[in-house]
Amino acid sequence: SAVPISSVPDGHEILDGCDKLVEPCERTGMRYMLGETTYYHAEAMFCRRKAAEGAFGSFVYCEGEYFHDVDAACNLREVQRHRLASKAGQEWVALSKQYRERGIQWGPMHYPTHSTSGPVCVMNAHAVEVTCYGHRNQTNDPFFQDFAFSNETALFRMSNGAVVRICEYREIGLPGNETFRVFGTKGSYTASTWCDNKSTTPLTVDEMRDPLPPEVAEAFREGRTESAAYGGHGGSHAYLVHEFVDAVAHQRQPATNIWEAARYMAMGVMAHESALKDGETLDVPDWGDAPG
């Protein structure tokens, strides 16, 4: 599926949706893949390689963020208008009234995968508990009428002992930004730069990317400019397509399988729940690792 696994105002319903995907995958051996673009951003690929080498040492702290103001270049008001104009969109208009009548409001943490996937996939760790705070829209913007918060900031304790800060903001005076930073006892990654306590090494996108099979890279380059050779969303599209097809062809679990995807989603669900409870520290559920 596209991201996220599910996005509705009721977090309990989202977690139930994770259960309903994990269970049949465990029972039948069938596979699910999440189309998470951040997983195949160049910095994510580079950081996973450095983690596999042990170059970070012990992970200490990570930050992930998805800053996407409603009026940014990719205008969320226009996105919403197009979605609601569809048949499925009109079904959602009717369904959303039920949540409103129940007083259930959502927040940007119910779309968390662009910010949570980077730290999780690099550290190969899951969230254990979270404290989160929300910022409420102050302008009576109708876009946020069903949102408890327009921005949410969360702090997670991870299974490996590291701390992760995640920001999901939809009302922010910045150009769109989707990135993460990773800090360890031996080395760190930030802003396209590898660092240790003596030096910094700036990196190009091509240096950070994993290689694609030549025929896949050639197929994606055909008819494209070099800057768009790998497709959109940070050049992730070629990698996502290749991962999906290769996982099907070799009957293996895709990298962004249901167990990995559920970890991204649960972080956001429980962060929003914490924000609704004024920052109460809450446990984050986990479904374990993918089999095999």
Per-residue pLDDT at 174 exceeds 80:
yes
Degrees to nearest 5, angle at CA 259 with 256 and 263 = 90
Least confident of 112-116, 139-143, 174-178, 218-222: 218-222
Residues 6 or more apart in contact with residue 291 via CB below 8 angstroms: 26, 253
Single pTM value for the model: 0.95
What's the mean pLDDT when you consider all of the chain? 95
10 Å CB burial of residue 272 (0-12, 13-18, 19+) is buried
**pLDDT (tens digit per residue) in 234-272:** 889 999 999 999 999 999 999 999 999 999 999 999 999
Per-residue pLDDT at 227 exceeds 70:
no
As a whole number of Å, the end-to-end CA separation of the chain is 22
Furthest CA-CA distance within the chain: 59
**pLDDT (tens digit per residue) in 203-214:** 999 999 999 999
The answer to whether 239 and 10 have CB atoms below 8 angstroms apart is no
